[in-house]
């Protein structure tokens, strides 16, 4: 059957899998894969790591799932799983492939020689993450360069990352951010299981790693002298000295809940927080920050290019210097009306500028352009995000 008479077939490689349970990439994969199938008539196969999905469901909302086992290892798990997934994908003859994370860039060589055209998602500044040692950081820099040589297309989820690749490698990329989540919220009474009440706590939702600066947030919080506890949701993919230090901070004021995987409950934690605190330092557009914005939370973020791009003029920002975050929070505690105003403005911004329907439409256009051209060097800019502000569309609330 000719390609014009059948559905396009797309593979997504490089993440743990769906349904999303383990971070921002998984959320991206779930949202766009489900919508590509339902709204754009594209067949999608997502490669999953079998250890995280023992149920082995073959299909999720119309998306085919392929499970590949791999040995759990902090440095090699993702790379090894993606290598095996890439080889497996060659036998299924996909029309295009979306590869996640520059660390997986060497797989582009296999795809270029034997497979379909591939787009690589640039993620954040992996070479600057504090959790990696010197060798791992050097590998990330090498992989970034390799991606610019071998990928048919690069995808950046923030303008800052797009500028980074232009400035450092002379390589352009297509800007396709994450979308915000406007899902279902559990009733406020659900907070009672954690001993919390609406607007009575500060919230952090993060993977507990050094470059997310949970330690900085805790230090500043302890200087605040407030009755509102600091609630930390999340854990470490691999336990470390740093993650154990954060867990040891748990007491009546600092509460470390671990992972919360019930989406409705997590949404309610975002919505009912007094202030959401965001310490991520080197990522691109961060899904947890978008989720807080979508829930209408007042967001206070570490002052980085990435945070300012997402929050815009409506956000609140603090620095690395001692006392910066504590002083900001004192001001917010004294002006609760300001907290409500910031939350409302950020919710409106998230629903306007970070929409999954427009993001998915951009990916669909990108895949079709890749398939049509089938040659490297051409950067296609999907109409949905050809400018910084996407077109207006109705979004559920």
Tell me which residue range forms the domain holding 207. 188-353
393 domain residue, yes or no: no
Name which of 105-109, 114-118, 214-218, 310-314 the model is least confident about.
Answer: 114-118
DSSP label at residue 197: -
Q: Is 219 a member of any domain? A: yes
Query: What is the pLDDT, as a whole number, of residue 271?
Result: 96
Diameter of the chain measured on Cα atoms: 69
Domain shared by 83 and 209, yes or no: no
Tens-digit pLDDT profile for residues 213-236: 999 999 999 999 899 999 999 887
pLDDT of 167 higher than 80:
yes
Q: Say whether both 274 and 237 belong to one domain.
A: yes
Q: What is the mean pLDDT of residues 148-166?
A: 94
Query: CA torsion sign, 145 to 353 to 265 to 205?
Result: positive
- Do 160 and 208 belong together in one domain? no
What is the reported pTM? 0.87
Instruction: Check whether residue 209 and residue 318 sit in a common domain.
Output: yes
Average pLDDT rounded to a whole number, residues 288-306: 95
Predicted confidence band at 395 (pLDDT cuts at 50, 70, 90)?
Answer: very low
Q: What is the mean pLDDT of residues 34-42?
A: 97
Question: Residue 278, Cα to own-chain centre: how many angstroms?
Answer: 13
In CATH, what number is assigned to the domain containing residue 275? 3.40.50.2000
Q: Residue 335: inside a domain, yes or no?
A: yes
What integer is the mean pLDDT of 301-321? 95
- Residue 342 exposed, middle or buried by CB count within 10 Å (0-12, 13-18, 19+): buried
Is residue 341 located within the same domain as residue 370?
A: no
142's tokens: 């090498």
Considering the domain boundaries, does residue 91 fall inside one? yes
What pLDDT does residue 283 have?
Answer: 78
In a domain? residue 375? yes
Specify the number of domains making up the chain.
Answer: 2
Asked whether residue 60 falls in the same domain as residue 169, the answer is yes
Percentage of the residues of the chain whose pLDDT score is greater than 70:
90
For residue 5, what pLDDT is reported? 54
Pairing state between β 59-60 and 63-68: antiparallel
- Residue 394 belongs to some domain of the structure: no
- 162 & 210 share domain: no
Question: Tokens in use for 151?
Answer: 């990928």
Same domain, 363 and 226: no
């Amino acid at each position: 059957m000719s390609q014009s008479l059948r559905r396009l077939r797309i593979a997504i490689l490089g993440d743990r899998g769906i349904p999303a349970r383990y971070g921002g990439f998984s959320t991206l994969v779930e949202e766009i894969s489900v919508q590509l199938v339902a709204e754009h008539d594209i067949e999608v196969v997502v490669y999953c790591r079998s250890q995280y999905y023992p149920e082995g469901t073959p299909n999720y909302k119309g998306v085919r799932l392929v499970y590949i086992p791999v040995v759990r290892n902090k440095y090699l798990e993702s790379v090894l799983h993606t290598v095996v997934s890439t080889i497996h994908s060659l036998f299924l003859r996909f029309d295009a492939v979306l590869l996640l994370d520059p660390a997986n860039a060497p797989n582009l060589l296999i795809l270029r020689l034997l497979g379909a055209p591939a787009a690589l998602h640039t993620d954040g500044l992996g070479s600057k993450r504090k959790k990696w040692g010197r060798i791992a950081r050097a590998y990330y820099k090498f992989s970034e360069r390799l991606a610019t040589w071998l990928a048919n297309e690069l995808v950046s989820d923030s303008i800052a990352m797009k500028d980074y690749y232009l400035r450092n490698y002379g390589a352009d990329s297509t800007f396709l951010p994450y979308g915000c989540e406007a899902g279902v919220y559990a009733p406020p009474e659900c907070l009672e299981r954690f001993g919390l009440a609406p607007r009575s706590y500060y919230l952090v939702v993060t993977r507990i790693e050094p470059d997310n600066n949970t330690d900085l947030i805790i230090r500043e919080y302890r200087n605040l002298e407030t009755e509102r506890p600091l609630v930390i949701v999340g854990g470490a993919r691999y336990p470390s000295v740093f993650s154990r230090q954060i867990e040891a901070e748990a007491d009546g004021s600092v509460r470390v809940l671990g992972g919360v995987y019930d989406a409705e409950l997590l949404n309610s934690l975002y919505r009912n927080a007094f202030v959401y605190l965001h310490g991520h330092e080197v990522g691109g557009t961060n899904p947890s920050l978008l989720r807080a914005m979508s829930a209408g939370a007042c967001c206070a973020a570490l002052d980085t290019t990435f945070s300012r791009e997402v929050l815009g003029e409506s956000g609140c920002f603090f620095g690395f210097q001692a006392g910066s975050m504590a002083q900001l929070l004192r001001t917010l505690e004294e002006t609760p009306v300001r907290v409500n105003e910031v939350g409302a403005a950020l919710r409106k911004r998230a629903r306007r500028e970070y929409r999954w329907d427009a993001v998915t439409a951009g990916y669909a256009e990108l895949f079709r352009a890749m398939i049509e051209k089938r040659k490297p060097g051409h950067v296609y800019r999907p109409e949905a995000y050809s400018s910084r502000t996407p077109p207006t569309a109705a979004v559920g609330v």
